[in-house]
Amino acid sequence: MSKIQEAREFLSDIEAFPPKLPHDPTLLPKLFASLSDKSFMSMQGLAALVERSQSLAARVLTVANSAMYGLQGGVTSLTRAVQVLGLVELRALVILFSAKGSIPDSKLPRAFPSRDLWEHQVRTAMLARQMTLIIEGTGKKGEVALEADSIHTAALLHDLGKVILAARRPAVWAEISEIARERGCGFAEAEEVYWGMDHGSAAAAMLNAWGLPDMLTQMISWHHHPELTPNYKLETHILAAANHLADNNRSLLTDAPGEAAPRLPERVRQLLPDYAVALESQADSLKHIVLDAKAEALATLMTGLAKKTERYLLCRTRNIPPSS
């Protein structure tokens, strides 16, 4: 079997047998619809929707009571949690917990950098939202408003293809990782060398099987080749730029004498040439996000919650007290 055929078989496998969500599969599309700008669902209605999944509700309450929001122990109901978190933050958490729960760490190779991946995705999402707001502020987009929430959501999931690759094809993941190390290149470039596609295609196949909007799957599918996306071109370029900036930000963080302001990496300027000046003028706000500890804290919390859930389920199947 050729590598191209192997890649096609991998995508077909995802489409036919997508990872199971840790809750009712109809819940995620309904949550997306309820959190859209056109939805009139109340806070109570949204809380009731989340409560359909006990594990999801428990995780949302845990985060709402974490130190990140300064209300430790003060949030006792899901309706209050929705009020504390806000709609945007709630959608982000639902997406993160759904995606994380669909492929437990126990199914991944020991060497897979799970916590680092989720931290990268959260930071990319934070950067993507801020870059979108800056670009919208230029007025160059005319009357067509960018969907900041959708770009943020796509950023939260853009590397999910790496997770399903490592879970379903651990030997392939290891070989691609080795190619990246030997060549000193990025994982996506190593994927192209190995079988002619990157992890964006795998993530898009997975999200499409879950019934998520086409806008998300297109942005994620092409985030390493935004020039090839058939639709949502600016949105995909923003995602690509945020993804690059999340890992390549030395110029943004420089404190060298004589530097008037932080500088954007050249790749970001190339991806968004019409907005480079505006982004550069507000580079301090992007620098703040790069230095923000929230992404690291949320990734650590997610990983810890996931491990607790896995231990609890294992104890239940073996009839062992969870505390043992």
3-18+103-292 has which fold? Hypothetical protein af1432 (1.10.3210)
The confidence score (pLDDT) of residue 226 equals: 97
What's the helix, strand, coil split of the chain in %, to 5?
70, 0, 30
- Chain-centre distance for alpha carbon 204: 12
- 35-44, 206-215, 218-227, 274-283: the lowest-pLDDT one: 35-44
Say whether pLDDT at 30 is over 80.
no
Longest dimension (CA), the chain: 65
pLDDT in tens, 47-72: 888 888 888 888 888 888 876 666 66
pTM: 0.85
Q: Compute the chain's Rg from CA coordinates.
A: 20
Nearest CA-CA partner of 236 in 207, 271, 184: 271
Nearest CA-CA partner of 252 in 71, 165, 167, 131: 131
Report domain extents, the chain.
Answer: 3-18+103-292, 20-102
Say whether pLDDT at 88 is over 50.
yes
Mean pLDDT of 25-45: 71
